[in-house]
Amino acid sequence: MARLNQIIAIEKGIKSKSIQELAEAQRAIAKPALLAGISRTYRPKDEEGEQLPPESKKVQIKAEEILRQTTEILTKLFDITATKDWTNCRARADVVVEGQTLLSQVPVSYLLFLEKQLVDLQAFLKKLPILEASETWNFDASADCWATEPLQTLKTFKMPRNHVKAEATEHHPAQVEVYYEDVTVGYWRTVKFSGALPAQRVNELLERLDKLQQAVKFAREEANNTDVEEQRIGQRIFQYLLG
């Protein structure tokens, strides 16, 4: 007995062939010359008249034959698709992560949906902001985010000072040079806050997601291993249609 994964494997080829053959059939019946035939014979009015050879052209394409071929083509397509869809209704499997059943008897169609969504989710997780590694972070419950240890820095003011290079004399004024000295006037206490995540947290999320992705893929393979419920839909459809 065939399995669902085998039906899925050949469905695409049958569909592609059906489209091609239908297109060829449509092109054929669109050419009136191929559908037309003729037979002509000539008889002179009297025995002394000119004798001409007969003319004939056979019908190359018959619409009824094209209809029969189209029926055969579509019957295969209808049957293979029906077999897949009927079996999909029964194809289910458990999603098991690290020995624990996370989801029970999931339909194969949902497993395919979930598989795609997890790929998108992985791309999202990889873009999560991560805390700067150059800082030491602790979670601050009052601020509900991460914070660094307080860092104290000085606030300074440049105080002008006079430096007497030469004392004043009777004939010359004093030579004074102005310079600036940094004088502490206060203290800054700085705490940085961040809503980003620790790298370890992001790595844990990605690791869990990877395990879930593997489990979903295994479940899909198991569901696709279901024995098919073969359907003969096409024949009934065309028996009615063609009368």
pLDDT digit string, tens, across residues 150-199? 999 999 988 888 887 777 777 778 787 888 888 988 999 999 999 999 99
Is it the case that residue 135 has pLDDT exceeding 90? Answer: yes
pLDDT for 180 equals: 87
Residue tagged 């949902």 (tokens): 110
Top-ranked range on mean pLDDT: pick from 25-39, 58-72, 114-128, 217-231: 114-128
Ordered by start, the domain boundaries in the chain are 1-91+231-243, 92-134+197-223, 150-190
Question: Percent of the chain scored above 70 by pLDDT?
Answer: 100
Predicted pLDDT of residue 198: 95
Question: Can you give the pLDDT at residue 28?
Answer: 84
Report CA 158 to chain centroid distance, whole Å: 62
Q: What's CA 91's distance to the chain center, in Å?
A: 23
What pTM does this model have?
A: 0.68
Q: Output the pLDDT for position 144.
A: 94
Closest CA to 242 of 77, 66, 24: 66
Give 72-90 pLDDT, tens digit per residue.
989 999 999 999 999 988 9
Handedness of CA 207, 209, 214, 215 (dihedral sign): positive
pLDDT of residue 26: 86
pLDDT digits (tens, 9 = 90+) for 32-51: 888 888 899 988 888 888 88
Over 90: is that where the pLDDT of 136 sits?
yes
Contact 101, 212 (CB under 8 A): no
